[in-house]
Amino acid sequence: MKTKVLIPSDICEVGKQYLRDRGYEIKLGHGVQEDDIISDAQGCGAILVRNESITRKVLENIPTVKVISKHGVGVDKIDLKAAAEQNIWVTNAPLSNAMAVAEHTILLLLACAKKLVCFDLAVRSGDFKIRNMMRGMDLAGKTIGIVGCGNAGELVAKKCVYGFNMRALGYDPHRSKTVRIREIEYVNSLEELFVQSDFISLHVTGTKENDGLIGNRQLSLMKPTAVLINTSYGLAIDESALYETLREGKIVGAGLDVFAQEPPLLQNPLFTLPNIVVTPHVASLTYETAERMCLHAAEGIDAVLSGKEPAWVCVRPQCPRMPCASVYCGS
């Protein structure tokens, strides 16, 4: 009998075909709520999730599931503690979207530095004289500060250093010194990075510890000519503080792909400001990234169900579930 893999929200064909080629049966879900997932997952050996919430209730009621694989990077909607308690592997695809996110970060950086949106709107409205009233800035010789030096952050640093002749600073208290790259000068505090940088780009994880990471204090340390970019986690920035900082012209601008609330309210005061560029959380949404996400997620499932170590592990259970969910694991 083929092992079933539940996919609550459909993915691109390459990931499904990868699993079929290795003998798995694909089961598309009937819904994304807790009870839907619990019902659909009965008898399945794995779940490949996109943005569904995999709660403690779900994890405690899917006895045959051995692995949950995330289509993408962020696992903040999966109860990792409960997964560990239930001896369920959790994998993700951290390399799948790094390039797309890095490229989108550069897009926002350039758009802010070169006043792209302001110039575009002016020309469309017949105002060509704006070219004599507003100036952009060069990137060469400027300093980019990277907050969170993981895969995407490192790629941004390399693109800025080699592509624009910039200096790159990095702050990441969780990054081991043994895996640091030579393109980044690492600083010991967030404050040091904010004081020195002309552009600051956030690449932090979506965890509670990063909620409100950037507030009035950090924003007050930025140069008046600086730009803040966020393509990682909306709640990392205090949006009220950012609004006041931008409104008062204390920094040049900001580029945001993520927001504290998504979708954001139309009444979000940030949208009334001319010195901000916004996109609808699309940094990782490219054709190539979508294929990598589903393929890497599928690879994680196959690795676990084949008795191998997956390439990217978020939860490694002490006593992994065997084909029989009731198997005893002694101490």
Same domain, 85 and 137: no
The closest of 255, 240, 190 to 218, measured between CA atoms, is 190
Q: How confident is the model at residue 288 (pLDDT cuts 50, 70, 90)?
A: very high
The closest of 196, 186, 233 to 214, measured between CA atoms, is 233
Could you give the strand order of the β-sheet that contains 143-147, starting from the edge strand earlier in sequence? 185-186, 167-171, 143-147, 199-202, 227-230, 253-256, 276-278
Same domain, 17 and 108: no
Q: Please identify which residue in the block is written with the tokens 């350039």.
A: 110
Same domain, 146 and 210: yes
In a domain? residue 262: yes
Same domain, 262 and 210: yes
Over the stretch 183-208, which tens digit does the pLDDT of each residue have? 999 999 999 999 999 999 999 988 88
Q: Strands 25-28 and 44-49: what pairing?
A: unpaired
Peptide bond into 263 cis (omega under 30): yes
In a domain? residue 323: no
- Contact of 59 with 77, CB cutoff 8 Å: no
> Does 51 have pLDDT greater than 90?
no
Domain residue limits at 70: 4-96+287-315
Percentage with pLDDT > 90 across the chain: 90
Structure-derived torsion over alpha carbons of residues 296, 299, 305, 309, reported in degrees to the nearest 10: -80
Same domain, 50 and 106: no
Q: Strands 167-171 and 185-186: what pairing?
A: parallel
In a domain? residue 271: yes
Mean pLDDT over each residue of the chain, to the nearest integer:
94
Output the pTM of the full model: 0.83
* H helical segments located in 56-97: 56-59, 80-85
Query: Given CA atoms 160, 163, 167, 172 in this order, what sign does their dihedral have?
Result: positive
Q: What is the mean pLDDT of residues 157-179?
A: 92
Same domain, 120 and 248: yes
CATH number at residue 27: 3.40.50.720
Same domain, 35 and 134: no
In a domain? residue 327: no
Distance CA 261, CA 105 (A): 20
Same domain, 132 and 144: yes
Same domain, 71 and 118: no
Same domain, 300 and 256: no
> How far does CA 289 lie from the centroid of its chain?
12
The closest of 298, 293, 311, 282 to 96, measured between CA atoms, is 293
Q: How confident is the model at residue 263 (pLDDT cuts 50, 70, 90)?
A: very high
In a domain? residue 13: yes
What's the structural domain count of the chain? 2
> Does 326 have pLDDT greater than 50?
no
The closest of 296, 330, 304 to 66, measured between CA atoms, is 304
Same domain, 51 and 106: no
> Does 323 have pLDDT greater than 60?
no
Work out the end-to-end distance of the chain between its first and last CA atoms, rounded to an integer number of angstroms.
31
Same domain, 128 and 255: yes
- Contact of 208 with 160, CB cutoff 8 Å: no
Residue predicted with more confidence, 331 or 51: 51
